[in-house]
Amino acid sequence: MKLRNIAIIAHVDHGKTTLVDALLKQSGSVRDNQRVDERAMDSTDLEKERGITILAKATSVVWKDVRINIVDTPGHADFGGEVERILNMVDGAVLLVDAAEGPMPQTKFVVGKALKVGLKPIVAVNKIDRPDARADEVINEVFDLFAALDATDEQLDFPILYGSGRDGWMSDDPAGPQDGGLAPLFDLVLKHVPEPSVAEGPFRMIGTILEANPFLGRIITGRIASGTVKPNQAVKVLSHDGSVLEQGRISKILAFRGLERQPIDEAQAGDIVAIAGLSKGTVADTFCDPSVSKAMEAQPIDPPTVTMSFLVNDSPLAGTEGDKVTSRVIRDRLLKEAEGNVALKIEESADKDSFFVSGRGELQLAVLIETMRREGFELAVSRPRVVMQKDDSGQLLEPIEEVVVDVDEEHAGIVVQKMSERKAEMVELRPSGGNRQRLVFHAPTRGLIGYQSELLTDTRGTAVMNRLFHEYQPYKGEIGGRVNGVLISNDSGEAVAFALWNLEDRGPMVIDPGVKVYQGMIIGIHSRDNDLEVNVLKGKKLSNVRAAGKDEAVKLTPPIRMTLERALSWIQEDELVEVTPKSIRLRKLYLDPHERKRFEKQKMAGAA
């Protein structure tokens, strides 16, 4: 059967996964009476809850006797490592652009990567039914973006379709017709995307997606570059430097057929398949016939820009809520994650009790922590720090991000002010329709940690911020941090409502009454800039003069809810987030007050 391999690339929330749903339905891969979840490709619990794609996944449809392998990719820059690998597997790409928002930072990132590997994208303007759609302007912006990214003349001559993935139609004209469904897109893919280029020689394939299966073990997905492969065939795995990692036999070959994966007896060059049976081969390794001696070139991956410390949980409540608490099981889990996710880098500390985990951004690391806590892990994590570099002359360089903020005009001033305090430079300001403005900044990654929640507060929830790694630039100097201190529990026990009520004038709380606390745990935000130790266990004194029910009922202000992302970005260098399957707690690095004072003195002496 003839083949086409395409990736669907776009900025987050521009409708990639919804479009794949429509393609599956229209091609007949899904029966009319078959119950399919909305956004069927977002298969993990976290993807469904957050409404975002985290892992790249493949599917396949048949149109006019041609099998089209489709890869759905993530839209967040934090998961860009998934997109970079996927582009090696495909010969074409459908670039989805929102008809109102136009090209966004992640669009620029994925288009740049696609053009670099020589793909000729098809541009599909999605959500054309939006009331604020501006299709012609968006096409001009896409053309300008291609030109700015040094596209060739062939790449600049991109075909254009308009439509709505949710409603399941595409057309050459923004006005329709809509009765053709997605046939124009399918036909354009067959006409515009070349057949897979196949090299001569024995079986070779680069691993692109890694997953674990309880029955088949390790499953590697990739595109076969040359030759054919059958079950029980002998193969070997080469690392990027050509050394042999392992030799073995393929136990099963799985091909993508709609939403299912089916075992097949033989796979040809050019097809995207998953193979099982090898225990060591991973992403970016070459799987090949024993006669092959040279590894295939893999696409280089951008370096990580943010790092965090993962520590063994040593709080007094350690082990009460999770069952995976030792450094050995945490280490094994992190190394397993790094195998499949090439954008992550894991380093072990000298004391073996903590690990430095580096990635693309806070969201990527927060998703990893959230996945681990759902698996029963308990751990403590530090505030994210940026990965600095030095140039040849020894000058310190830090990562700079391109930040695009879409905001109502009335709030633009406060955004500019706050970003300038964070050492950001404004590079563009223009209206983006609907009484809104688009502000573009180049800002240090350090300054953006923790800014998302502050931005939403400043703009009453109307701002949308998108970030993308831009380049390394010379260190910009000190950036001011959190202005408030914290309220710290001075004893262990259960928090009492009466004590919390008495402490309300000191600042807002982050815990509920009845919650277990321990010495050194953060229970609230101090209204001043210093830390304050408080007693949250002190109940009302009862006597025969003052009876239990005589005073007014205690009415507490609801506490501030600390989500994992908010907690990670809010804490300071001397604080940790304790993560368990049931709780997210904030605590000081040193629980004992004397140790905290000693640490402060050392810090001040070091600064002097």
Reported confidence tier of residue 40, pLDDT bands at 50, 70, 90: low
Tell me the three state secondary structure of residue 552.
coil
Residue written as tokens 């949710």?
Answer: 166
Q: What is the pLDDT of residues 430-467, one digit of tens each?
A: 887 678 888 999 999 888 887 877 888 888 888 888 88
| Residue of 296, 68, 281 whose CA lies nearest to 201 | 296
Residue 542 pLDDT exceeds 70: no
Q: What is the pLDDT of residues 246-262, one digit of tens each?
A: 899 999 998 888 777 88
What pLDDT is stored for residue 608 in this prediction?
A: 63
The whole-number average pLDDT for the span 54-83 is 79
Measured in degrees and rounded to the nearest 5, phi and psi for residue 475 equal -55, 130
Q: What is the pLDDT of residues 554-577, one digit of tens each?
A: 788 889 888 888 888 888 888 999
Range name among 369-373, 406-410, 476-480 with the lowest pLDDT average = 476-480
The whole-number average pLDDT for the span 17-39 is 67
What pLDDT is stored for residue 54 in this prediction?
A: 66
Tell me the three state secondary structure of residue 187.
helix
What pLDDT is stored for residue 304 in this prediction?
A: 83
What pLDDT is stored for residue 260 in this prediction?
A: 79
Query: Which CATH code is given to the segment(s) 204-288?
Result: 2.40.30.10
The whole-number average pLDDT for the span 193-201 is 86
Where b means 16+ CB within 10 Å and e means fewer, 379-410 reads bbbbbbbbbeeeeeeeeeebbbbbbbbbbeee
What pLDDT is stored for residue 489 in this prediction?
A: 92
CATH level 3 topology of 2-192? Rossmann fold (3.40.50)
Where b means 16+ CB within 10 Å and e means fewer, 59-73 reads bbbebeeebbbbbbb
Where b means 16+ CB within 10 Å and e means fewer, 20-43 reads bbbbbbbbebbeeeeeeeebbbbe
Reported confidence tier of residue 549, pLDDT bands at 50, 70, 90: low
The whole-number average pLDDT for the span 76-92 is 77
Tell me the three state secondary structure of residue 518.
coil
Q: Which residues does residue 169 pair with via DSSP β-bridges, in sequence order? A: 164
Does residue 16 have a known ligand-binding role?
yes
Measured in degrees and rounded to the nearest 5, phi and psi for residue 423 equal 65, 30
CATH class of 389-474: alpha beta
What pLDDT is stored for residue 516 in this prediction?
A: 92
One-letter identity of residue 194: P
Does residue 126 have a known ligand-binding role?
yes
Pairwise CA distance, residues 58 & 258, whole Å: 9
Does residue 14 have a known ligand-binding role?
yes
Pairwise CA distance, residues 465 & 593, whole Å: 39
Look up residue 260 and give its DSSP letter: E
What pLDDT is stored for residue 242 in this prediction?
A: 82
pTM of the model: 0.79
What pLDDT is stored for residue 60 in this prediction?
A: 85
Reported confidence tier of residue 35, pLDDT bands at 50, 70, 90: low
The whole-number average pLDDT for the span 231-248 is 88
Pairwise CA distance, residues 92 & 28, whole Å: 22
What pLDDT is stored for residue 521 in this prediction?
A: 93
Pairwise CA distance, residues 368 & 362, whole Å: 10
Range name among 45-54, 143-152, 415-424 with the lowest pLDDT average = 45-54
Does residue 73 have a known ligand-binding role?
no
In this structure, are residues 279 and 248 in contact, taking their beta carbons and an 8 Å threshold? yes
What pLDDT is stored for residue 41 in this prediction?
A: 55
Reported confidence tier of residue 44, pLDDT bands at 50, 70, 90: low
- Who's near 467: CB < 8 A, 6+ residues apart? 77, 105, 361, 401, 402, 403, 404, 448
Does residue 580 have a known ligand-binding role?
no
Q: What is the pLDDT of residues 321-371, one digit of tens each?
A: 888 889 899 999 998 888 777 778 888 888 778 899 988 878 888 889 999
Tell me the three state secondary structure of residue 583.
coil
∠ at Cα 304 (111, 57), nearest 5°? 55
The H or E element containing residue 245 is strand 244-249
The whole-number average pLDDT for the span 52-74 is 82
Does residue 17 have a known ligand-binding role?
yes
Residue 218 pLDDT exceeds 80: yes
Pairwise CA distance, residues 369 & 581, whole Å: 10
Q: What is the mean pLDDT of the chain?
A: 84
Q: What is the pLDDT of residues 584-602, one digit of tens each?
A: 999 998 889 888 888 888 8
Does residue 59 have a known ligand-binding role?
no
Range name among 37-51, 87-101, 584-598 with the lowest pLDDT average = 37-51
Residue 189 pLDDT exceeds 80: yes
Reported confidence tier of residue 535, pLDDT bands at 50, 70, 90: very high
What pLDDT is stored for residue 394 in this prediction?
A: 84
Reported confidence tier of residue 525, pLDDT bands at 50, 70, 90: very high
Percent of the chain residues past pLDDT 90, beyond the cut: 21
| Residue of 456, 460, 325, 305 whose CA lies nearest to 385 | 305
Decide which of 543 and 199 is more confident.
199
What pLDDT is stored for residue 298 in this prediction?
A: 75
Does residue 127 have a known ligand-binding role?
yes
Domains in the chain: boundaries: 2-192, 204-288, 389-474, 486-607
Q: Does domain 486-607 have CATH number 2.40.50.100?
A: no
The whole-number average pLDDT for the span 224-239 is 90
Residue 139: how many CA atoms within 13 Å on its side-chain side?
16
